[in-house]
Chains A and B, each alone.
Chain A
Amino acid sequence: MPSADAPAASGRALVQAAGPGRWEWLRSQGLGVCCGLATVLLLAIGSVVMAATRDGASAGIGLDDLTGFFLRPSLAHLWFYALIPVAALYALNALLATWETVTSRWRAGLRQPRAYAAAVMHLAFLVALLAHLAGGFLAREGGAWVVSEGWQPLPAFGEARLVSLQVEALPNGMPREVHAAVELRGADGRVEAVEVGYNRPLSAGWGNRLALLSEFGQVQVARLASGDEGCALAQEQGCLLGGERIELLAFAEQGGAGDRQALVRRTGAGGRPEVRWLRAGEMLALRNGRPLLLVETAVAPAVLLRVRETPGNPIALMAAALLAIGVGMMWRHLSRGL
């Protein structure tokens, strides 16, 4: 490969290296067609293998993940390992052919956008491959988080709380739309109002960070107070009250009237965790002498948000924009009719 001796070679140098002579095949249409057909064949094999090994070798591979193919190497992933050099050769072929076409057409004085439609689409393909790499190797699942009326940390978004939850129902009772009004609080304390619903996730960084609506409904919450401060916690949530972190571990029935008591954990004397059941109206002394009061337990609306960080999304968006532009530039060619 020409780049083996010159890793920092420019595009021009690559093209020159792949110009007339023994490397010309690298940018040939024939190689592109072979790579395309090989990709079709390998992906077709892969789709069958993945379906057959969904509960085995391919069990942990979901969404746009690529790491699963390497964390648990398997013969079942051979099609994917074969796809890597094919995709690399395909990308190199597209890059070299595009460079050659664009430079020769530009030098020939061609300025009409449609002359560069194919080049833009090739670029979209290359950017889409980058998006696959970024999404496949760098995406992180941030877990599922219950957001109810109290401020709760929402990874990648600061803190969040649910202001209101409206569910539009169809005549048969099924949900038609979900409108969850959420407030986000950043590290600087600034509060932003947003809405979450189906197909309307919280999004930041052009889709780099997402919080997607997973479930909605109602959860049991414990409303706690310490002086002027207060927070509402669902099970397994925590908050800062009176300078201490308070966590709610569980609820339990208190008698037969439907009242509940809450199991809370605080940092006790000597930094040891202290776990206590609290009834409504019952108080607990915090380290600095301030009281912690369980005001009440109640049922409150809540949403379950699935947090995902996926750096492939903004790159894929760029690829999509390029692809759309490329198709637009092809329009003159397409509009000649059938």
Chain B
Amino acid sequence: MGPPGVTGPPSPAALAFVLQGAAALYLVALLATLLRPAWARAPLALGAALHVGWSLWRGLLIGFLPLTNKTESFAGAALAVALVGVIAFRPARAYLLPLLAVLGAAMAVALSFPQGLHWPPPLMRTAWYPAHVPLSFLAYGAWTAAAAAGVAWFTDREAGWLSLIDRLGLWGFALWSLSMICGGVWGVVAWGAWFLWDPKVVWSVILWFHASTFVHLRLTPSLAARPWVRPALALLGFLLVLVAYVGTSFFFGRSSHAFG
């Protein structure tokens, strides 16, 4: 394993304000959702734009994709949720509130960690890493939105949510498949194996199997009369994402994905 990326270039004070600005705009989106959900899209999009700017600035300062520490990781996950929220926007409280709650929680965690910059460790320096992680986060975002749509379906039982759940599930599956390909190739060049008995990798496989199962639900005749199954499994999918993303880093001990 390479040495951990524990230090980096100085972090300009304004950099932290940019992320806080994005968080403030997300908060405005949350308040707008409470007042009139259709108003939430603009502050959500502006927050995401500012958030992208923050990522680009950090990336320029370290000369690499800014996904080298926990701040950047949680901020990256939050950005993915925000982007999916903007693209798959639906002006409904039951959908937006859980989505923005997850976004807010990820932002709060990102802001709670030290904001310093880290150089990436040598093992991250491959084209496969900058492809693998953003694709993963976008898949997380799609599945989070699918779970939010699941909450909305359990709230009002409208068929439109099922269609959104299916499409988000399929997008998550496609993005996750591409992410697994990039991660697998990275595993080969970095560790010599495309699969490792490592909690993060095993849970990545779990997510892939859950997602691939999920995309078959709509086509399963015996489930046609049970529309609750897809929203329920979308919610389960979100729980699996939480374990894969957060749980494996904190509760499963050593991991090849721990870079210091």
Report A's interface with B, CB cutoff 8 A: 29-30, 32-33, 36-37, 39-40, 43-44, 46-48, 50-51, 54, 58, 61-65, 121, 125, 131-132, 135, 139, 170-172, 174-178, 198-201, 203, 207, 210, 212, 306, 308, 310, 312-313, 316-317, 320, 323-324, 326-327, 330, 333-334, 336, 338
A198/B216 in contact, CB under 8 A:
no
A198/B123 in contact, CB under 8 A:
yes
For this complex, 8 residue pairs linking A to B, each with C-beta atoms less than 8 Å apart, are A30-B223, A32-B216, A47-B248, A125-B212, A200-B189, A313-B194, A324-B181, A338-B171
B174/A334 in contact, CB under 8 A:
yes
Give, as a whole number of angstroms, the nearest-CB distance from B151 to chain A. 17
Interface centre among A176, A336, A338 (most CB of B within 10 A): A338
Verify if B70 is at the interface (C-beta below 8 Å from A). Answer: no
A210 vs B221: C-alpha distance when bound (angstroms): 47
Give, as a whole number of angstroms, the nearest-CB distance from A227 to chain B. 40
A142 vs B121: C-alpha distance when bound (angstroms): 26
Residues of chain B with a CB closer than 8 A to A135's CB:
193-195
Q: Which 9 A-B pairs have the closest CB atoms?
A: A36-B213, A199-B126, A338-B88, A198-B122, A29-B220, A308-B192, A63-B193, A316-B194, A64-B193
B197/A175 in contact, CB under 8 A:
no
B197/A61 in contact, CB under 8 A:
yes
The tally of residues in B whose CB lies under 8 Å from a CB in A reads: 60
Report B's interface with A, CB cutoff 8 A: 2-3, 5, 7-9, 87-88, 119, 121-123, 125-126, 128, 164, 167-168, 170-171, 174, 177-178, 180-181, 184-186, 188-197, 199, 202-203, 205-206, 209-210, 212-213, 216-217, 219-223, 240, 243, 248, 252-254
Residue in chain B with minimal CB distance to A62: B197
A313 vs B188: C-alpha distance when bound (angstroms): 7
- Taking a contact as CB atoms closer than 8 A, the residue among B122, B196, B205, B253 that contacts A178 in the complex is B122
B209/A36 in contact, CB under 8 A:
yes
B88/A63 in contact, CB under 8 A:
no
A115 vs B39: C-alpha distance when bound (angstroms): 40
Residues of chain B with a CB closer than 8 A to A201's CB:
189, 192
B197/A32 in contact, CB under 8 A:
no
A175 vs B223: C-alpha distance when bound (angstroms): 55
Give, as a whole number of angstroms, the nearest-CB distance from B174 to chain A. 5
- Taking a contact as CB atoms closer than 8 A, the residue among A33, A44, A131, A323 that contacts B216 in the complex is A33
Give, as a whole number of angstroms, the nearest-CB distance from B195 to chain A. 5
